Amino acid sequence: MRNLLIILWIGISCQFSFAQKVDFVVSHDGSGDFATVQEAIMAVPDFRNVPTYIFIKKGTYKEKIILPTSKRKVVLIGEDVDQTILTFDDFASKQNQFGEEMGTTGSSSFFVFGDDFAAKNLTFENSSGPVGQAVAIRVTGDRAYFENCKFLGYQDTLYTQGEHSRQYYKDCYIEGTTDFIFGWSTAVFEDCEIYSKSGGQYITAASTLASSAYGLVFINCKLTGDAPDGKVYLGRPWRNDAKTVFVNTEMGKHIHPEGWHNWSKPEAEETAFYAEYASFGPGANQKARVAWSKQLSKEDLGDFTVDKVLSGTDGWIPGNNLDNEAWLSNSQSPKIN
């Protein structure tokens, strides 16, 4: 009996410890603190200096979500990446209540303005379909972290928007057709799958500032898709100083032999920085790449580590503050009494 009591006490203690790590639970079925993600976000105290953990139960949450600048260190954790979906269906040419087109930015399903945002086990989606620009998530805040997330859409799926924003994507899946990873930010994608859907021609469209040392960096990623063979370019420069680098990336047969496109702007060939290191697979073709792109040497790799690219002046290490039990647990649903 004594041993049984000890086991029960340990189980209750562990459950309580996990529950204490979660601030809010979102659920459609009424079992959580809130029925919508937006309600939970707005309940976070403004300018809080410690992370706020929000657990989102399985379900499709159709809502246009905004994380304001005042909501710092917000952490969203989905119960299951494939069954916890944050979605909306606006698109650039859709008219708003004033009869004006929404534009690319306005089409976003999720706006991230607050710094130190993190997300895990979630799908971010724009469900409007192949109707032109339609953003699943726009990330403006600094030090954003995504792990085991999916980003679904067609054109302009993932908008790395903040000019001085640093973003890290780990073990994520990103799909789209044209320019489906684009923007000004410095972003690292590590161990991610980048899926080019049929009908698209370009994976990235960086608009890096001339003063920024880095743009989009892909490390140990895999480029897949159902686009036709040899039709998809690695990137084209939205702005002339675009910077995009692929390191140790497996490239499928859908990748165009030339690799990169100048967006009909010959002058961009002088200012854009497009480079690869040790690309492999049927889409890797070093000899056929455009002459104005670069093949990095082994000595160059020290400049393209996660820490080097993202550290900035504050020495940011992605995920260094995410040691909470709720974050570390992959699937257990917390019970809060």
pLDDT at 330: 60
Asked if pLDDT for residue 310 goes beyond 70, the answer is yes
Calculate the average pLDDT of the chain.
92
Kindly indicate the confidence band of residue 192, based on its pLDDT and cuts at 50, 70 and 90.
Answer: very high
pLDDT at 197: 98
pLDDT at 1: 40
Asked if pLDDT for residue 286 goes beyond 90, the answer is yes
Query: If we measure between CA atoms, which residue out of 162, 98, 157, 109 comes closest to residue 133?
Result: 157
CB 196 within 8 A of CB 174: no
The structure's pTM equals 0.92
pLDDT at 20: 46
Q: What is the mean pLDDT of residues 198-205?
A: 96
Between 213 and 17, name the one with better pLDDT: 213
Q: What is the mean pLDDT of residues 268-297?
A: 98
Q: What is the mean pLDDT of residues 306-313?
A: 96
Please give the Cα distance from 203 to 150 (Å, whole number): 16
Angle at 151 between CA 33 and CA 173, to 5 degrees: 115
**Domains of the chain, each with CATH number or no CATH:** 22-318 (2.160.20.10)
Among residues 179, 229, 307, 314, the one annotated as catalytic is 179
CB 171 within 8 A of CB 147: yes
Output the six-digit token pair for 187: 């972003």
Is residue 119 within a helix (H) or strand (E), and if so which, with residue range?
strand 118-120
Residue type, position 99, single letter: G
- The 3-state DSSP class for residue 105 equals helix
Q: Report the range of poorest mean pLDDT among 71-80, 100-109, 298-307, 326-335.
A: 326-335
Between 201 and 332, name the one with better pLDDT: 201
pLDDT at 334: 52
Phi-psi region of 172 (alpha: psi -120 to 50; beta: other; left: phi over 0): beta
Q: What is the mean pLDDT of residues 238-261?
A: 98
pLDDT at 63: 98
φ, ψ for residue 261, nearest 5 deg: -125, 145
Q: Over the stretch 116-155, which tens digit does the pLDDT of each residue have?
A: 999 999 999 999 999 999 999 999 999 999 999 999 999 9
Residue 47: C-alpha distances to residues 23, 161, 205 (Å): 16, 22, 33
Q: Mark whether 179 is an active-site residue.
A: yes
Please give the Cα distance from 66 to 148 (Å, whole number): 21
Asked if pLDDT for residue 322 goes beyond 90, the answer is no
Output the six-digit token pair for 101: 């087109």
Residue 268: C-alpha distances to residues 200, 207, 215 (Å): 22, 11, 15
Please give the Cα distance from 127 to 137 (Å, whole number): 12
pLDDT at 325: 82
Asked if pLDDT for residue 76 goes beyond 90, the answer is yes
CB 133 within 8 A of CB 101: no
Between 99 and 84, name the one with better pLDDT: 84
